[in-house]
Structure 1
Amino acid sequence: MIPTVYLAIDPLLTSHRAEITYTWRTLLTGMGYSWCERAWGEAPVTIAYTTDPAHTPPAAMVINARIERWRAPAQTRLIGSKQWHGYTLPLLADDQSTGQPIVANGCLYIPDDPIFAAFWLLSGYEEEQYPVLKHGYRDLSGTPMIEEGLLRRALVSAIGCWLAERLEQFGLPSGIPRWPNGAQLAATCGHDVDYPEVVRWLEPLRVIGRQGLRGLGAALDVIRGRRHHWHFHSWMDLEERIGARSAFYFVARKGSLREYATGLPDPFYDVQAPHFRALFRELSNAGWEIGLHASYRAYSDRTLFAAERAWLAAASDQSIEGNRHHYWHLNSQQPEQTLLLHEQIGFCYDASLTHNRYLGWRRSSVWPFFPWHRTLRRSIRTLQLPTGWMDDHLFGQKRFNPGDPHTLLTELRETVTRQGGLLLVDVHDYVYDDRLFPGWAATYRELWETLAAQGRVWFTTPAAIAHHWIRRATQIETASIGLNG
């Protein structure tokens, strides 16, 4: 039985109804509640979302809707964070920095409009304020997301957890579980397959570039053919010992050194080659997922993008359900246009929304979600699995993520555990060898071993997680009434 939240939305918010109902559906789905929307003033409700807290229908909870923000979301700014009942929540400009929810006459009054804050973060208004760098990356230098470590706090799913706890205080049962078999969180890895076959004359230069003269011995080993990047079995063995499964994302478009030198950095391997076809059979037979690593310019060409999926499906003899973009390369000005392509091409899920430089959750949620399309004013039907950590964040991008790596990953793990979310990480295929990439594989192994020892973790593939979340969301929606755009 799914507990139900009875909700009424102020009629004065009608012009923003599509955005508001999307946000409520997304939060309530994450929280595990069905919904029943009631007409304003028709009957008592669990939550009244109102522009005027002094005039509402009877409700257990009244949330102050800031209509001026809904009218001009691009004008909003994040200035920091606030603490409500132990949760770190967003502090937007003009919020009451010391304001707290208050209980009066048995009703909880909530200021500052956390519902708008959730929408604003989840739909990308926050990130678009920052300068665009090469490859479409964003520069968050000096922002509260970086200075206060808010990317690692998942502010949107924190809002959902905070609301759920308040509902339970008012006597509503807990929402249905997010994960199966009593799991507290889900965890999986997507291995981007960028460089599985070493270029013997090139890789020694890269090793020296990373390690300096300390890497001379490893560089010589590469030249002599003693060290390589073909470590699929090594990753499988590591994960098998923990009881985990993961995905390997392959680029179906073959690039070249010449293209790389001229600014088109697609990998050089050929998924149609016999040894890759044999690898695909071995991976799938053992329970690992094969996904697409969309090429650098796939986001700009729907025909090419769809063809890449078809090429990989033919080479692997598998249905390709998931995607992650090479270099995280989306339409930098309108990411939702790339996300819409995923729906049009038929992907079950995508895992491309993260920051190349920064550890944490780009859209501030550890819960999977269906992204918002601003122009169409609806959710995109391809699920987004939020990626929280890429291996390079703690190595090549370490200057942007200062601090002890163990402490930073512990913070991520604790955020996901408390919020009951998904810890999806990106560990590249070629970083297993400790001589070539000191500490890279060991960091991943330690994180996964710590999670396994912690217990109540659902280790499985990204596709299995996506299918579970979609089934759960459908179950909740089927039991619900209203909140239609």
Structure 2
Amino acid sequence: MIPTITLAIDPSLAAHRAEIGYIWRTLLTGMGYGWREQPWDSERVTIAYTAGPAQPPPAQIVIHARPDRWANPAQARLLGAKQWDGYDLPLLAGDQANAQPATSNGTLHIPDDPIFAAFWLLSGYEEEQYPTVKHGYRDLTGAPMLEQGLLRRALASAVGCWLADLLQHYGLPPGLPRWPNGAELAATCGHDVDYPEVVRWLEPLRILLRQGARGLGAAVDVISGRRTHWHFRSWMELEERIGARSAFYFVARQGSLLEYATGLPDPFYDVQAPHFRALFHELSAAGWEIGLHASYRAYTDRTLFAAERVRLAAASGQPVDGNRHHYWHLDPHQPEQTLLMHEQVGFRYDASLTHNRYLGWRRSSVWPFFPWHRGLRREIRTLQLPTGWMDDHLFGQKPFNPGDRQTLLGELRETVTRQGGLLLVDVHDYVYDDRLFPGWAATYRALWEDLAARGRVWFATPATIAEHWRQRAAQIAAASEGLGP
């Protein structure tokens, strides 16, 4: 049985109906509640979302909307976070920083419109305030998200958690569980397969650049062939001991050193080679997922993008349901256009929305979600699995993420645990060897072993997690009425 709320939306907000319906559906789905939308003149509802000054219907909770923000979302600015009932919620310019929800005549009134704030973060308006640099990355220098550590606190899904607690305080039962078998959170890894085969004369130079003179022995080992990047079995054994399964994302477009030198950094391997075909069989037979690591320029041409998916499916003999872009390379000016392309190509999920430099959740959610397309004014049908940590955040990008590695990852873990979310991480295929990449695999191993020891974690492949969330969302929608455009 899915608990259901009744909700009335002020008709004066009709111009923003598509956006408002989307964020309410997204939040309530994450919370595990169905909905029954009621007319504004109803006798009584659970929640009234009012723009004022018209009197809202009798309600247990009245949320005061900000029509000015809905009319001009690009003008909103994030100042930081505010504490409401123990949750970190978004604080936007113009909010009453010290204001708290207040009860009047038995109704709880909520100021500052946290519903809009969740939409604003989830739709990418916050990140657009900052400059785009090489590869389409955002430079968050000086941003509250970075300076106050808010990327690691998932402010959008925090709004949903806080609202769910309020509903339970007013007598509703807990929502439909997010994860199977009583799990508090889900966890999975996607290994980007970038350099599984070393170039013997080139890789030693890269080792010396990373490690200096300390890497001389490892460089000699690579030249002699004693050390390689081919560690698929190593990752499988590590994860198997914990009871986990992950995905390996392969690039189907074969690049070259010449292209790399001229600014097209696609990997050099051929997924149709016999040893890759044998690898695909080994991975899939043991329960690991094979996904696409879309090439650097895949986002520029839907036909080529679709051909990459077809090529990998043919080589692997497996369906390719999921994707992550090489270099996180989406359309740098309109990422939603790339997200729409995922739907057009036919992916069930994507896992490309994160910051290359910064640890945490780019769209401020630890819950999977269907992204919003502003031009079409509808949600995109390819599910987004939010990635929280890439291995390089704590190594090559360490200056942007100061602090102890385990402490930073512990903060991610606690956010996911408290919000009942998904911890999806990106650990590259080639970083297993501790001589070549000191501490990289060990950091991942320690995090996964800690999660396993704590219990109540659902380890599954990204595709399995995505399919579970899609089915759960469909179940909630089928039990609900209203909130359409």
TM-score of the two chains, using structure 1 as the length reference: 1.00
d(CA) in 1 for partners of 2:458, 2:400: 30
- Call closer, same or farther: CA 1:39–1:54 in 2, change over 3 Å: closer
d(CA) in 2 for partners of 1:337, 1:417: 32
Matches within 5 A, 1:69-84: 69-84=69-84
The question of whether the paired residues in 2 share the 8 Å contact of 1:366 and 1:419 is answered with: yes
Structure 2 residue aligned with 1:270: 270
Deviation for aligned residue 1:328: 0.2
Structure 2 residue aligned with 1:62: 62
Deviation for aligned residue 1:54: 6.9
Structure 1 residue aligned with 2:6: 6
Matches within 5 A, 1:18-33: 18-33=18-33
One-letter identity of the residue aligned with 1:370:
F
Give unpaired runs (5+ residues) of structure 1: none
Where 1:189 maps in the other structure, the secondary structure is strand
Where 2:180 maps in the other structure, the secondary structure is coil
The question of whether the paired residues in 2 share the 8 Å contact of 1:53 and 1:64 is answered with: no
Structure 1 residue aligned with 2:332: 332
Deviations along 1:177-225, whole A, 9 cap, x unmatched? 0000000000000000000000000000000100111111111111111
One-letter identity of the residue aligned with 2:37:
E
Structure 1 residue aligned with 2:152: 152
Matches within 5 A, 1:391-402: 391-402=391-402
Where 2:425 maps in the other structure, the secondary structure is strand
Deviation for aligned residue 1:104: 1.6
One-letter identity of the residue aligned with 1:186:
A
Matches within 5 A, 1:35-184: 35-52=35-52, 55-184=55-184
Deviation for aligned residue 1:42: 2.0
The question of whether the paired residues in 2 share the 8 Å contact of 1:371 and 1:383 is answered with: yes
Matches within 5 A, 1:340-419: 340-419=340-419
One-letter identity of the residue aligned with 1:210:
R
Percent identity, aligned pairs only, is 79
One-letter identity of the residue aligned with 1:8:
A
Structure 2 residue aligned with 1:307: 307
Matches within 5 A, 1:260-299: 260-299=260-299
One-letter identity of the residue aligned with 2:264:
L
Where 1:90 maps in the other structure, the secondary structure is strand
User: How many residue pairs align between the two structures?
Assistant: 485
- Higher mean alpha-carbon deviation, 49-58 vs 316-325, is at 49-58
d(CA) in 1 for partners of 2:110, 2:211: 53
One-letter identity of the residue aligned with 1:385:
L
Deviations along 1:236-270, whole A, 9 cap, x unmatched? 00000000000000000000000000000000000
Structure 2 residue aligned with 1:424: 424
Structure 2 residue aligned with 1:257: 257
d(CA) in 2 for partners of 1:41, 1:3: 23
d(CA) in 2 for partners of 1:368, 1:326: 20
Structure 2 residue aligned with 1:191: 191
Deviations along 1:9-57, whole A, 9 cap, x unmatched? 0000000000000000000000000000001012210000001277210
Structure 1 residue aligned with 2:230: 230
d(CA) in 1 for partners of 2:9, 2:332: 34
Deviation for aligned residue 1:103: 1.4
Where 2:103 maps in the other structure, the secondary structure is strand
d(CA) in 2 for partners of 1:301, 1:337: 11
Structure 1 residue aligned with 2:483: 483
Quote the RMSD (CA, aligned, Å): 0.6
The question of whether the paired residues in 2 share the 8 Å contact of 1:53 and 1:62 is answered with: no
d(CA) in 1 for partners of 2:235, 2:211: 23
- Give 4+ residue runs of structure 1 displaced > 2 Å after superposition: none
d(CA) in 1 for partners of 2:43, 2:135: 52
Where 1:80 maps in the other structure, the secondary structure is strand
d(CA) in 2 for partners of 1:192, 1:278: 18
d(CA) in 2 for partners of 1:240, 1:66: 50
d(CA) in 1 for partners of 2:243, 2:200: 34
d(CA) in 1 for partners of 2:94, 2:442: 45
d(CA) in 1 for partners of 2:238, 2:266: 27
Structure 2 residue aligned with 1:456: 456
Deviation for aligned residue 1:380: 0.2
Give unpaired runs (5+ residues) of structure 2: none
d(CA) in 2 for partners of 1:110, 1:398: 39
One-letter identity of the residue aligned with 1:120:
W
One-letter identity of the residue aligned with 1:265:
P
Where 1:467 maps in the other structure, the secondary structure is helix
d(CA) in 1 for partners of 2:427, 2:196: 13
d(CA) in 1 for partners of 2:104, 2:354: 41
One-letter identity of the residue aligned with 1:137:
Y
d(CA) in 2 for partners of 1:48, 1:73: 22
d(CA) in 1 for partners of 2:163, 2:317: 45
Where 1:181 maps in the other structure, the secondary structure is helix
